[in-house]
């Protein structure tokens, strides 16, 4: 075993909720107002010169705005950073032809502002782990003569001890819809397996097969979205039948739908990491989808969002990659993200690049070397080769279709785990 420092976020409840919720409300509303000021500024610039200012430009522009001083300067900066990120995400999708994508909206409900998350960085909070208290700074506009900070008494999960973490980098005040809670973003030292394998695996994330894996030794695996698609269809139909999309019933169904997705992603990432441990994998190579979203010249963008009833957006893939990283690092396995550029067009065997990618029925057929491969597996193998350039071998002829015969793992609703297709009963 070896030690490694990683980032973790711990959730805590606030024990003196009644005393502090009013003050936190004021900060949460202030964050929404600043968001709206920034939102308005961006659309003005956009209308004038067809350009979306980035985070630094936005901050420089709004630093002297009176709303900026409602929060601690680091907290205000964070609001504008989030806004700039949201715009960059939307712009990337739009460029990739996702016409359903909406730009980030204003944070307003009727005449009211919702309570936005407020982030406090190192200068904006003071933690007292002896008495389980944290002081959160207000902005200079909101400081009053009797107090310039909010003193929260927090309670973490019993197994979390903030006095033992390396350092707390950020505190976020988050409105859950019912009350405020605190999220502590910490550097934590963990024990990891000291001796991961040396093999590599490539992972291609997509909309048909959520994940396709190509191992260095030549075998490959597919993880179709069977169960998630059924789930989505079922919940979408039930939600559509609700009279009012804001009703309690619709909200409950939406919660259930997203909880099941989260569960699916957790289970899948755990399963993949277990498979990697079994296979002696030390490096997982994942296609970095954001590089496609941001790369203007690349026309290879995946078509998100409109696949039957499945409204899986790119955030789902980002979220999954995060989970995979988190679980892999516990095993000492590194996750590397590489650009997906050309990975679906090129032949993983001879390297020939063709524009008419994705040949018939999910098979990639190379007219140069006669490779026949599952198209997603071919993509995964190209992704893997970006880190480990030697082609996968199965000890024999690589063009005999081995990549065309991946093993398929399905989510088994009865056991709640992934199993080879042959073993899945439900």
Q: At closest approach, how far in Å is the CB of 298 from Zn ion?
A: 22
Closer residue to Zn ion (CB): 321 or 378: 378
Nearer to Zn ion, 244 or 397 (CB): 397
Which is closer to Zn ion, CB of 186 or CB of 380?
380
How many Å is the Cα radius of gyration of the chain? Answer: 24
The HSE-up count of residue 357 (CA atoms within 13 Å, CB side) is: 21
- 352: helix, coil or strand? coil
Tokens of 43: 């659309």
In whole angstroms, the minimum distance from the beta carbon of 222 to Zn ion comes to 21
Torsion of Cα atoms, 83 then 85 then 86 then 88, to 10°: 120
Q: Rounded to an integer, what is the distance from CA 276 to the centroid of its chain?
A: 21
Q: Which is nearer to Zn ion, 59 or 374 (CB)?
A: 374
- Rounded Cα distance between 63 and 70, Å, is 11
Smallest separation, CB 371 to Zn ion (Å): 5
Residue bearing tokens 């039948």: 241
E strands, 71-143, are: 118-120, 125-128, 133-137
**211 vs 366 by CB, closer to Zn ion:** 366
* Residue with Cβ nearer Zn ion (158 or 396): 396
Q: How far is the CB of 355 from Zn ion (least distance, A)?
A: 14
Q: How far is the CB of 368 from Zn ion (least distance, A)?
A: 4
414: tokens are 């009865």
Q: Which residues bind Zn ion (CB under 5 A)?
A: 347, 349-350, 352, 366, 368-369, 371
CA gap 160, 38 in Å, rounded: 37
Pick between residue 187 and residue 352 the one whose CB is nearest to Zn ion. 352
Determine the longest span between alpha carbons in the chain, in angstroms: 79
Please report how close the Cβ of residue 346 comes to Zn ion at its closest, in angstroms: 8
200 contacts 216 by C-beta, under 8 angstroms = yes
Tell the smallest beta-carbon distance from residue 180 to Zn ion (Å): 58
Q: Label each residue of 346-406 as H, E or C.
A: ECCCCCCECCCCCCHHHEEECCCCCCEEEHHHHHHHHHHHCCCCCCCCCCCCCCCCHHHCC
Q: Among residues 283 and 382, whose Cβ is nearest to Zn ion?
A: 382
Output the smallest distance, CB 351 to Zn ion, in A: 7
345 Rama sector, left if φ>0, alpha if ψ -120 to 50, beta otherwise: alpha
Tell me which residue of 235, 229, 135, 120 sits closest to 173, measured CA to CA: 120
């Amino acid at each position: 075993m070896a030690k490694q420092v990683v980032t973790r976020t711990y959730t805590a409840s606030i024990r003196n909720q009644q005393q502090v919720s009013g003050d936190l409300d004021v900060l949460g509303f202030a964050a929404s107002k600043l968001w709206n000021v920034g939102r308005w500024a961006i659309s003005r610039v956009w209308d004038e010169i067809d350009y979306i200012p980035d985070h630094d430009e936005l901050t420089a522009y709004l630093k002297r705005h009176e709303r900026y001083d409602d929060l601690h300067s680091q907290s205000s900066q964070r609001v504008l950073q989030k806004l700039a990120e949201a715009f960059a995400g939307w712009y990337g999708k739009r460029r990739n032809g996702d016409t359903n994508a909406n730009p980030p909206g204003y944070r307003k409900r009727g005449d009211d502002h919702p309570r936005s998350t407020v982030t406090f960085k190192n200068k904006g909070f003071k933690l007292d782990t002896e008495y389980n208290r944290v002081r959160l700074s207000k902005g200079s506009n909101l400081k009053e003569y009797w107090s310039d900070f909010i003193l929260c008494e927090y309670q973490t999960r019993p197994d979390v001890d903030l006095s033992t973490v390396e350092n707390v980098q950020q505190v976020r005040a988050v409105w859950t819809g019912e009350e405020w809670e605190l999220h502590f973003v910490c550097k934590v030292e963990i024990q990891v397996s000291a001796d991961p394998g040396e093999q590599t695996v490539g992972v291609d994330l997509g909309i048909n097969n959520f994940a396709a894996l190509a191992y260095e030794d030549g075998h490959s695996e597919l993880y179709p979205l069977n169960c998630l698609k059924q789930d989505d269809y079922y919940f979408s139909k039930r939600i559509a039948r609700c009279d009012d999309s804001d009703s309690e019933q619709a909200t409950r169904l939406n919660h259930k739908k997203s909880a099941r997705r989260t569960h699916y992603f957790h289970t899948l990432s755990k399963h993949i990491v277990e498979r990697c441990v079994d296979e002696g994998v030390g490096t997982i190579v994942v296609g970095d989808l954001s590089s496609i979203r941001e790369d203007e010249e690349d026309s290879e963008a995946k078509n998100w969002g409109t696949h039957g009833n499945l409204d899986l957006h790119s955030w789902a893939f980002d979220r999954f990659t995060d989970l995979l990283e988190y679980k892999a690092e516990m095993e000492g396995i590194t996750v590397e993200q590489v650009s997906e550029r050309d990975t679906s067009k090129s032949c993983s065997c001879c390297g020939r690049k063709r524009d008419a990618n994705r040949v018939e029925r999910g098979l990639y057929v190379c007219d140069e070397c006669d490779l026949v491969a599952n198209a997603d597996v071919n993509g995964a193998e190209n992704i893997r080769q970006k880190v480990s350039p030697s082609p996968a071998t199965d000890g024999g002829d690589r063009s005999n279709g081995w990549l065309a015969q991946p093993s398929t793992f399905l989510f088994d609703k009865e056991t709640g785990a992934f199993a080879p297709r042959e073993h899945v009963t439900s």
